Amino acid sequence: MSVDAGVSPSESPAKVAAAVANVVGVDVAEVSMSDARAKFSSDDPGSLNRFREQLRARRVRSAARAALYRGKTGASATLLLNRQAAAVGVVAVCGEPEESPLGPIVMTIGSEKLDEVIEWLTSQEPR
């Protein structure tokens, strides 16, 4: 899984890194900054737990499921998230990049069992 966002000249790189960190619930120090981008990557399935809980708490599981299946290509799926919402710790799914004025945060999930991961992330059932 990776979570990535570009940093525009008018933005604070630290704030963009914090928004990326908020999506997956990690310390901002775990977000790498390079070439005007903030990025977090992990191969640990547990790194999706906070994201899953946010989908449940905000009751946007079905919208996230539909967006993940629309963004599915082979063994990976891409999901666009609103950067301003992420800056305050809220996961908000975007249907189009234009829905996030400064550009979306892009989450890419890869797995040989991608359908199972999507269903787990967006399941109505408790863990």
127 lies in some domain: no
Q: Is residue 81 part of a domain?
A: yes
Q: Contact 68/60 with Cβ under 8 angstroms?
A: no
Alpha-carbon distance of 122 to 61, in angstroms, equals 5
pTM score over 0.85: yes
pLDDT of res. 81: 97
Structural domain including 57 reads 2-122
Q: Is residue 22 part of a domain?
A: yes
Position 65 in a domain: yes
Q: What is the 3-state secondary structure (H, E, C) of 3-64?
A: EEEECCCCCCHHHHHHHHHHHHCCCHHHCEEECCEEEEECCCHHHHHHHHHHHHHHCCHHHH
Closest-CA residue to 7 (of 102, 108, 106)? 102
Please indicate, yes or no, if residue 87 is contained in any of the structural domains.
Answer: yes
* Number of folded domains that form the chain: 1
pLDDT in tens, 33-76: 986 999 999 999 889 999 999 999 888 999 999 999 999 999 99
Phi then psi for residue 20, to 5 deg, are -60, -45
Handedness of CA 47, 110, 13, 55 (dihedral sign): negative
User: pLDDT tier at 126 (50, 70, 90 boundaries)?
Assistant: low
Instruction: Residue 33: give its domain's CATH number.
Output: 3.30.1440.10
Tell me which H or E stretch contains 105: strand 105-110
pLDDT above 80: residue 125: no
Q: What is the spatial distance between Cα 127 and Cα 119, in angstroms, rounded to a whole number?
A: 12
